[in-house]
Every structure is written in C-alpha cells, then in structure tokens.
Structure 1
Amino acid sequence: MPPTNKGKDLPYDCTDRESIYHYAVDLRGSTLREKTDADEISDIRKNKGSFGSAVETYYFMLDLNNESEADFKEAGLELKTTPLKRNKNGSLSAKERLVIGMIDYMTVVGETFETSHLMEKAEAILLISYLWTPDTDPLDYPVELVEIVSMPSLPEGDLAQIKADWETVVNKIRDGRAHELSGSDTFYLEACTKSSTSKTRRKQPYSNIPAKPRAWALKASFMTAMSNRLIENMQSIERGADEKSLTLVELVRKRFAPYFGLTEQELGERFGYLESGQSDRRTWPKNLCACATRRILGVSDEAKIEEFEKAGIKPKTMRIKRNGTPKESISFPYFDYFELAATPYEESDFSSYMEQRYLFVIYREDATDDGVYRLSDVVFWQMPDDDLDEAKRCYEEMRSRVANGYAENSVKSSENRCCHVRPHDTKTSKPIPTPQGVPMKRKCFWLNAQYLKTEIARIASCE
C-alpha cells in the first residue's frame, strides 16, 4: 500500500514552496528505489502517469486525487514529472510534451490569457525530470532535474509566443472549430488530444460538431530547450579585453569596487528591485542583497555562475554592526534527527558545508544612521583546517545528544568556539520526529557570530 499523509508528519512544510523545493531537491541524482519504500511501479508504457503518481504517493506522501487544484494546494504549487531521454550524441531531450491541464471548451472562450486557467495552473510548477531508459525498471530511473518553473516568469520572448499560441487555439474555439484543432497550429504551446479512447468527444460552445478532448501542453521541443537551459544554466562573469589575465579574486573585486559605499536600498533601486524611496524593509525582497550580488557580477537571477561552480564557491551576504560583529550568525539547512544520529561527521552534509569556500559580500552598518548597511567589501573565505576539528566536535556532540534522547539539548555557542545549534525560526518551526519518539522543533547548525568576527578580522589583516 502506498503511504498517506493523513495523520502523519511530513518531512517538509506543505504550505511553504521553499520547504517543498528543498525536500524535492534531495531526489536529484537519485532513484525512487533509493529514496522510497516503493517496490513496484505499473508499466509506464501502459500508464504514462505511473511515475508521477509514485513520486506523489511514495516520496511526497500525498493522497492522489483527480481534482483540478494544485497538488500542494496550500503552497499553490503544481507537481509535474516528465521523462528525458539520452540521445546518441550524449545530449538530453524531452521524451514527450508536458501536459499542464485540460481545456474546458465552454469556459476558455470567456478567458484572457493573463487570467486564464492555464496561467493559474502554470504559475508555479515543481518540475521533476527523470532519465527514461528502455528496458529499465521505472524505480531505477534517475532524477536529472528538480526546479520550480513559473510560466509568467519565462523569458519575455517565450511568453509572447506562448500567448500567441494560446490565442490561436482559443480563437479557433471561438470560431466554432474546436474539432479542427491540431498540434501544427502552434509553436510552443499546443492543444494535445487527451482521452482514453479515440472515440471520446466533448461539446464546444459555438458549433454542434463534437470535438476531441484536448489539454494544454508545452511541446516536447520546448521542453527539451527549457530542460537543457535549466540543467546547464551557467553563465560566466564577462571579461573585457583587458581583464583576461585577472584571477577570480581580482575580477570579483573589480566588479564590486564601483558599488562600495552604496546602501542596500540604493543597490535595490539601481538594479530595479525597489521603487525609488522604498525605505520600508518589510516591503523588500528577502533575497535583495543576493540578487544585487548577481547583478553586480553580470549574471541573471536564476543562472549558476560558472566560475563559482568550478571552484565550489557559495556567495553569502554578511551584515556587520559598528562593533565589528556580524548582525546574524550564518545558518545551514535543517537537519533530520534520524539522519544526524546515524551519520558520522565525515559522511555528513555538514562536513561539506564546513569545507566549502564562500564569498562573503560584506555590508557594514553606517557610522551614524542606525540600521542602514553599506556594501563595504568582498572576501573569499574557507574554514581553516585547525577549526575543522572544532566544527566536527560540535557535530558529533549534537549527534550524540540526539542518539541518546537529548535532542532538546542543543549545542550552545558558549560550548563551541565555531558552531552552535538552534532552530532557524522559533515562531514557525514545526516539530518533527526524533529517534526517541518525542517530536522536536527543526534545528540547524550555525557558525557563531563572534567566530565570524575574528575570521573577518583575520582575513583583513592578511590583505
């Protein structure tokens, strides 16, 4: 029997898109056999939706239904799975179109593109693409891509063509010619046939001739281009003719130098994330500084930075108060209590976080204006080898407490020079299971603010 979410604590927050996404990302590079208890999936050739149903029931523990509302209703997120195939030249292509939702001939004629049911269904799609291979058990299909895709946020040219395609289909229905619809009518978006038998027909509003049931779908060719763009979506930091010989550190500092001294608000206004004079922080995007970093480096919001990917660098915004102490400690993703108890430091995600190189984008508090932070520096940092042992001690101590039934007893910053453990958000953090059966709030590891203060000072003294 497939699992159910009734009366069960889910390993993600079903009301939070980010939580759902981060849980879904754990599927990337893995198979359902590796990540779930599923022991069989019906033949995908006879039931194209069988893989998607298995992902819903076994991985996300959702109750299957045929309702038109989003799979993650409270988060307004639609789950879609789609197969990729490996071509002879090694490239990937979409095996089939991506079906978004049925077309209601009777109501679509009264819609506009912007307010259409299509746009509602495609406002936020959690897209999970898996690699289909002939003669392979579907449980062993590896997941290649996990992304949240939003049709309204597609490139301007793509959205314009999709709107034109939508209008082509709808105008044909308005002309009483739904029975004449064809995939060849359009370029990116099509009205594909969708019924269990070829004899099924539906009424249309402006003709007595019944028409085949059809659904909105993004064509396989479009899905191929989009999937490859998402999988290989990397951009390089552009270099001028006189910058070819610069090291990465020199190049990054050169890009940031013209913006040193600007406030967060000024950067937000300059790059179009804030309106002029929009000073209320509560109205700012939560990732304002991260977006500004990408714009300064000349890459788009969603792209991976090729140089950073090659070097294993992760950008982090750091706000530093007048006394030199970071305004916040740096947090890492929530841990699972069962996984923590069972995983030694060397095999943990935490160890990889500690060994990663970071780009600290530093904002310092204004000398006279309280709460105003100005971009002041960028530094590359990696935890010194001598401190890795201290980080390991924090991890192993917390692991021991969880395994022995003391999960509520977090490692405090006073107990470890580098790291500590606490919930990320004490108000909204929901309890999750622990090995001892007592649910506890979700927690994560943090780098201590005082430790970061000494590290920033150390780096500054070495420059």
Structure 2
Amino acid sequence: MDQDKLPYDKFSVDSIMVYAERLEGHTLREMTDAAELQSPNRRRGAFGNAVEQYYFKYKPNSSQEPDFPEVGIELKTTPLKRDKSGRYVAKERLVVNMIDYDTVVNEDFERSHFMQKASRVLLISYLWENDVDPLDYKIVLVDLWEIPEVDLVQMKLDWETVVDKVRAGHAEDISGSDTVYLEACTKAADSSKRRTQPFSPVLAKPRAWALKASYMTAVENEMIDRRRQGIKRGAGEKDMGVLELVRSRFEPYFGLSEEELAQRLGISKSKDLCARITKRILGVDDDAEIDEFVKAGIKPKTIRLRANGTPKESVSFPAFDYYKLAETDFEDSDFYSYLQTKYLFVLYEIDGGGTYRLRDVALWQMPDVDIPEARRCYEQMRENVRRGRADVSVGVTENRCCHVRPHGHNKLDVRPQPYGPPVTKKCFWLNAKYLAGEIARVRGE
C-alpha cells in the first residue's frame, strides 16, 4: 500500500506506536473491518495475519526482513491465557523465524537472521479464551520490546548450542531441552516432513527459532506490571480515598481550557489529548495504567457539558455483534458489563466564549434502580434482531436511559445479522439528558 494511504507513517517509530497502541483494550472486531477469522486452532498465524492485513494494512509475508523494514521493527502477536490464580501466562512459545540449516552455519549471533527479527519487536498480546470467536479476543498488551541486555548472554549460548549441532552434522538431534530461553522448535504442518542439512546426509525436522513459553510469560507479565503505576501520594494524602485523592490533584487545574492544560503540562496536541491530560494531572506516564483504577475497575471518561449542564453528546459503547446480541441474555452481555463499570467522569464545561474548561471530576456507575430500564432497551433491540429487523433501532425517546443508533464510519460500514441482509454497525448509547441528571446527582446538585 502507498505510504499516503497508510494510517501511520512507516518511517516513524512514534507514529507506528501511537497507531498500534489504539488496539490495546479492544478487539479486532471493534478496530477493523475483518468479517471472519479462522480459528488459530485450525490455522496458526490467522490472528497475526489479520492484524497485519486489516489493521496495519500490509500483506502478510515470510520475508527475512522485519515487518516495518524502514525502522527495523518486527510485528509479533502472541496469545495469553489465565491460569487458575487469574495470572497471565503465555499460551505458547513465540515463533520468530524459520531456521535455514544451510545458511545459519555461516552466521554469528549478533548479525543472525534471528537477531534481525527479534532485536526490536512490536509485541501485541491478546487474551485467548476457549469458545470465543478470535475476532473477539481482547488485546491486553501493545508495546515495543527489545531483548534485555541481561538476557543476551543466555540467548547467545542457546543459539550457539543449536547452531553447533548443525555444524557438527547433527541437526536431527536438536531438542528443546538443550536450551534455556531460546529454542529450535519443530515447525511443519506434517510431522513426517524432513529437510536436508549441510554436513550430513541424514534428514532433519524443519525447525524455527522461538522464545520459550516460560520466557514469554515472564516478559509479558513484567511489561504489564511496568505499565501500571500508582498515584504517588504526598504529605497529607495517605488517608485519602481514591476520589478524594483524584479531586485534590485536579482542583488546581479547574477553570483551565484543554489548550491551557496541554501547555502547562507539556503535552502536544493529539486525538487522545484529554486522556493524556488526566494521566499527567495524576502523575502517571502516558502509556501506563493507573493502579488504583485497575483495582477498582474505574474507567476515565471525558464529558463535555453545555452551559445548562447537559452533555454535548450522548455516551457511546463499542459496536455490538448482531449474532451475539440475538443469542446473549442481558446479564451475560457486554452492555451489562459496561453498566456495571465505575466511571471517572472528567467534566469540561463550555464558557460564555465557547471554550470548554475543566470544571469537575465525579465517580459514576449506573444505579441499580435504572438497570431494568437499560434491560428494556437491550431486550427491545434484541427482539428487533431476532425478527430480522436489525435495521430498526431503539430511539432516544423510547427509553429514559439508553438508545441504539449507528456507530460505523459510514453507511458502507456494516455487519451481518442472523435473519436478514447486513446492517450498519450500531451500538448502545447513554442518553445525554439522562446523563445530565446523573451528573448533577453525583455532584450533589
């Protein structure tokens, strides 16, 4: 694809990473127009190929060059799963590149094809779940990773252990138990396949360089933990609750516009400016999760208020899948989980000159008394889909709390439905008028 058609600058690491990080916390269904993805259980590499093709807009390939050759970055996707304690563990080893027995014997570790591929990796880790459509796997980590210097000594020893066997004419004797971090794993669709080696007539199994699952578990958990930061407390803040602490940090900035906040906090303008402002005010790095928010299940949400206190816009949730909606009860739905989430509303209110200024912060979760009304909206839309009328939405005047309307890029941005032709992507929205009352309530007005 031509550079001017790419949604990022392929010559800029920062541009690639800013674009890549939008995936974190989302699914391929939410972030791409991929209609179907073959299960990785039947076709390994399907998820990674979909990320390359549908998100980064380049054709999957088996080139020895890095996937982003202009900046020397290799893209790797890898599945995580949760163990019985809830901890993330790598589901499998991370395959880096095929081993060519004929050429690897002439390489040295530092300039090897393996190091070309593994020295700088854009790592995208997703949560694998049994019986979940791969398009709905949640991406939990997007980060740029380089082999830590402390690991390079062992990695080199592992590499040389394998290559020495090939040089000795014993590629057929290579075993995963030979090495510690890096292994030469078997890599063939048919276990009977064999290939030649340069210093012996004996055929050997095709193999690829791979980082062991145990190594990847440690790497990914360290990256996830590093990306989580707590709000550092100063004198007099140790006994504060989360909202009190957050409010104390925000209060000095009340009354400032977004532009003034960006200037004071040293932030360049971007689409996620308000989210970055929130993290800077709380003293957390732009790419870090806020530890207190993760523990409490809190999600920050920027809301712009009109002069009368009504949100400028209704609040949307991710687009839903029509098939999933038709089959899923309200209590098991994504929509219900969104309503059970606690939100930190960061409120910007318009002034007399038309400028939005930071006014307040408030914690909100839909009250139990309003859940039946939200359920009614869900069930009404579910019934529309079941009748083959997914094109019919739930209007804002039909429900006090919620409504349904399109959430696609345009009329051509559609999704299939179970009982009719494809329909424009839609999602559930919280009504602006309803939110106005809720914001006033939690602010004590």
Partner of 1:224: 217
Partner of 1:125: 124
Q: Distance in 1 between matches of 2:246 and 2:384?
A: 42
Sort the Cα spacing of 1:25 and 1:432 in 2 relative to 1 into closer, same or farther, 3 A: closer
Sort the Cα spacing of 1:52 and 1:418 in 2 relative to 1 into closer, same or farther, 3 A: same
Q: Percent identity?
A: 42
1:422 to 397, 405, 409: 405
2:149 to 161, 164, 186: 161
Sort the Cα spacing of 1:403 and 1:191 in 2 relative to 1 into closer, same or farther, 3 A: closer
1:380 to 337, 355, 363: 363
Task: Give 1:121 deviation, angstroms.
Answer: 8.6
Letter of the 2:222 counterpart:
R
Partner of 2:233: 239
Letter of the 2:249 counterpart:
R
Partner of 1:363: 348
1:316 matches 2:316: no
Sort the Cα spacing of 1:200 and 1:354 in 2 relative to 1 into closer, same or farther, 3 A: same
Task: Give 1:444 deviation, angstroms.
Answer: 0.3
Q: Distance in 1 between matches of 2:358 and 2:167?
A: 61
Q: Distance in 2 between matches of 1:419 and 1:24?
A: 25
Letter of the 1:23 counterpart:
T
Partner of 2:242: 248
Letter of the 2:217 counterpart:
T
Q: SS at the partner of 1:364? A: strand
Partner of 2:139: 147
Task: Give 1:94 deviation, angstroms.
Answer: 5.2
Q: Distance in 2 between matches of 1:52 and 1:311?
A: 38
CA RMSD, 1 decimal: 5.4
Task: Give 1:345 deviation, angstroms.
Answer: 2.6
- TM-score normalised to structure 1 length: 0.63
Sort the Cα spacing of 1:322 and 1:129 in 2 relative to 1 into closer, same or farther, 3 A: same
Superposed CA offset, 1:201-231 (max 9, x none) = 479xxxxxxxx99856446564232232356
Sort the Cα spacing of 1:272 and 1:160 in 2 relative to 1 into closer, same or farther, 3 A: farther
Sort the Cα spacing of 1:101 and 1:272 in 2 relative to 1 into closer, same or farther, 3 A: farther
Partner of 1:98: 94
Sort the Cα spacing of 1:24 and 1:188 in 2 relative to 1 into closer, same or farther, 3 A: farther
Task: Give 1:254 deviation, angstroms.
Answer: 0.9
Partner of 2:11: none
Q: Does the 8 A contact of 1:423 with 1:441 survive in 2?
A: yes
1:408 matches 2:416: no
Partner of 2:163: none
2:433 to 440, 447, 450: 450
1:56 matches 2:46: yes
What residue ranges of structure 1 are gaps of 5+ in the alignment? 1-14, 27-35, 39-49, 131-137, 173-177, 204-211, 279-283
Letter of the 2:348 counterpart:
Y
Q: SS at the partner of 2:299? A: strand
Sort the Cα spacing of 1:289 and 1:201 in 2 relative to 1 into closer, same or farther, 3 A: farther
Sort the Cα spacing of 1:417 and 1:93 in 2 relative to 1 into closer, same or farther, 3 A: closer
1:101-112 to structure 2, matched below 5 A, reads 101-102=97-98
Query: When the two structures are aligned, how many residues end up with a matched partner?
Result: 383
1:330 matches 2:303: no
What residue ranges of structure 2 are gaps of 5+ in the alignment? 1-18, 31-36, 54-58, 68-73, 161-165, 169-173, 200-204
Letter of the 1:318 counterpart:
I
Letter of the 1:418 counterpart:
C
Q: Distance in 2 between matches of 1:353 and 1:253?
A: 24
Superposed CA offset, 1:61-94 (max 9, x none) = 999x994279xx9xx96543478888xx997765
2:419 to 432, 436, 439: 436
Q: Distance in 2 between matches of 1:124 and 1:53?
A: 20
Q: SS at the partner of 1:325? A: coil
Superposed CA offset, 1:306-350 (max 9, x none) = 333333322111112334332221111211222222333333222
Letter of the 1:227 counterpart:
E
Letter of the 2:294 counterpart:
E
Task: Give 1:456 deviation, angstroms.
Answer: 2.1
Partner of 1:9: none
Q: Distance in 2 between matches of 1:118 and 1:430?
A: 36
2:329 to 305, 328, 344: 344
Sort the Cα spacing of 1:301 and 1:215 in 2 relative to 1 into closer, same or farther, 3 A: farther
Partner of 1:307: 292
Superposed CA offset, 1:119-163 (max 9, x none) = 799335344568xxxxxxx999xxxx9536556x34xxx567399
